[in-house]
C-alpha cells in the first residue's frame, strides 16, 4: 500500500502533464476499438436476459437498472460503469457480469446522469437512490434483498467507495478508481464536472475522516497511469490508517482497459475477489 515510486505529485505537474497523466484513452492504444468490442459482446449477453431491463429508479432518463438473474434467491452484485462521470453507459459493461454470474451471483448494472447535466453531488445521490430501489425490489425479482456487494470501474470505482455508506451495501470492489478529486478539479476533466473545492472535498473518499467499516477491495493494473495507481495505493493506506477493512492489489501487466478481463472471466482475479467478499459477508443483513 505504499505510493508507487514512479507516481509524481500532481501539484508539481503542468496542466498539460496533468491532463495527459489522467487520460486513459490516450495512454492505451486502441482503447476506442476495445470499448466498441465491449459494446458488441455486451449486447449479445444482454439479449439473453430480457426479464428485468431498464428498470426505472428515478425521474431522469439514465435512472435505469438492468438486473440479470441467474439464480433464484441468489446474492446480487451491483456494477457502476466508468467514463470519468461524463461518458459511457451501463449497456457497454454487461459482458463483465459473466464472471460473477458463472458462480450463481445475480448482477445489476446501474445507469446515472452524466456531467454536465448533473453535478457530482447529484450523481452520488442517484447511485444511492438506485440502491434504495434495488433493495426494495429484489425480493419481487426473486433475488436476495438482504444486502448487496457494489463494484465499479474507473469513475465507478469512486462511486463504489461513495456507496459503501449505504445500509444495504455489504462490501465494495473498486477497480482503478479515483478517490481524491482535487487533481480532477485541476484538469481538463473539470470542464464538464464543474467541481468547486467544497464539492470536491465532500465527494473525495480520501478526504473523509474515516469511512464505512465494511470490507473494501481495491485493485488497479500495474501498467496503468502512475497517477491512477497512486490514487488506489493512497486510498488503501488511508483506510488502513483508520482501521477500516481493506485489501489492495495490483494486477500484473494490466492497463486501465485490460484489467476488466479479470472481471469478465469466471476464473479472473477480480471475479475471485468478488466471490470472497460475498463469502466474508455471508449472513450479514442491513437495516
Section 29-42 average pLDDT: 97
Section 225-237 average pLDDT: 97
Is 96 inside any structural domain? yes
Is 5 inside any structural domain? no
Is 54 inside any structural domain? yes
For residue 252, what pLDDT is reported?
98
Q: Global pTM?
A: 0.96
Residue carrying C-alpha cell 475471485 = 272
Is 41 inside any structural domain? yes
What does the mean pLDDT of the chain come to? Answer: 95
The CA distance from 153 to 126, in Å, is: 17
The CA distance from 38 to 259, in Å, is: 13
Give the confidence band of 287 by pLDDT, cuts at 50, 70, 90. very low
Bridge partners of 56?
A: 64
Across 73-87, 106-120, 193-207, 270-284, least confident range = 270-284
* Contact (Cβ atoms closer than 8 angstroms) between residue 256 and residue 246: no
pLDDT of residue 2 exceeding 70, the answer is: no
Is 287 inside any structural domain? no
Q: pLDDT tens digits, residue range 162-220? A: 999 999 999 999 999 999 999 999 999 999 999 999 999 999 999 998 899 999 999 99
Is 251 inside any structural domain? yes
Give residue 79's domain range.
10-280
The CA distance from 34 to 141, in Å, is: 33
pLDDT of residue 94 exceeding 50, the answer is: yes
pLDDT of residue 88 exceeding 60, the answer is: yes
**55 φ, ψ (degrees, to nearest 5):** -70, 125
Is 286 inside any structural domain? no
Q: pLDDT tens digits, residue range 244-255? A: 999 999 999 999
Domain total in the chain:
1
Residue carrying C-alpha cell 463494484 = 151
Is 159 inside any structural domain? yes
Section 134-152 average pLDDT: 95
The CA distance from 122 to 73, in Å, is: 31
Residue carrying C-alpha cell 470505482 = 157
Q: What CATH number is given to the structural domain containing 232?
A: 3.40.50.1820
Largest Cα–Cα distance in the chain?
53
Amino acid at each position: 500500500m505504499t505510493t508507487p515510486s514512479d507516481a509524481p505529485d500532481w501539484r508539481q505537474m503542468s496542466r498539460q502533464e496533468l491532463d495527459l497523466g489522467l487520460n486513459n484513452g490516450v495512454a492505451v492504444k486502441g482503447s476506442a476499438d476495445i470499448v466498441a468490442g465491449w459494446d458488441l459482446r455486451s449486447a449479445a449477453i444482454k439479449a439473453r436476459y430480457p426479464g428485468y431491463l431498464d428498470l426505472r429508479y428515478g425521474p431522469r432518463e439514465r435512472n435505469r437498472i438492468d438486473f440479470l438473474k441467474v439464480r433464484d434467491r441468489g446474492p446480487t452484485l451491483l456494477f457502476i460503469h466508468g467514463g470519468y462521470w461524463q461518458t459511457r453507459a451501463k449497456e457497454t459493461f454487461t459482458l463483465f457480469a459473466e464472471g460473477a454470474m458463472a458462480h450463481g451471483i445475480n448482477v445489476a448494472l446501474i445507469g446515472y446522469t452524466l456531467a454536465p447535466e448533473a453535478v457530482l453531488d447529484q450523481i452520488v445521490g442517484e447511485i444511492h437512490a438506485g440502491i434504495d430501489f434495488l433493495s426494495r425490489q429484489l425480493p419481487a425479482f426473486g433475488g436476495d434483498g438482504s444486502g448487496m456487494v457494489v463494484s465499479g470501474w474507473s469513475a465507478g470505482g469512486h462511486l463504489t467507495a461513495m456507496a459503501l455508506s449505504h445500509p444495504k451495501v455489504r462490501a465494495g470492489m473498486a477497480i482503478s478508481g479515483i478517490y481524491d478529486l482535487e487533481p480532477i478539479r485541476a484538469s481538463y476533466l473539470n470542464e464538464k464536472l464543474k467541481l468547486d473545492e467544497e464539492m470536491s472535498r465532500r465527494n473525495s473518499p480520501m478526504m473523509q475522516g474515516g469511512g464505512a467499516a465494511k470490507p473494501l477491495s481495491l485493485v488497479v493494473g500495474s501498467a496503468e497511469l502512475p497517477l491512477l495507481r497512486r490514487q488506489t495505493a493512497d486510498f488503501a493506506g488511508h483506510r488502513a490508517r483508520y482501521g477500516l477493512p481493506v485489501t489492495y492489489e495490483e494486477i500484473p501487466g494490466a492497463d486501465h482497459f485490460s484489467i476488466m478481463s479479470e472481471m469478465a472471466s469466471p476464473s479472473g482475479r477480480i471475479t475471485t475477489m468478488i466471490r470472497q467478499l460475498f463469502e466474508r459477508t455471508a449472513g450479514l443483513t442491513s437495516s
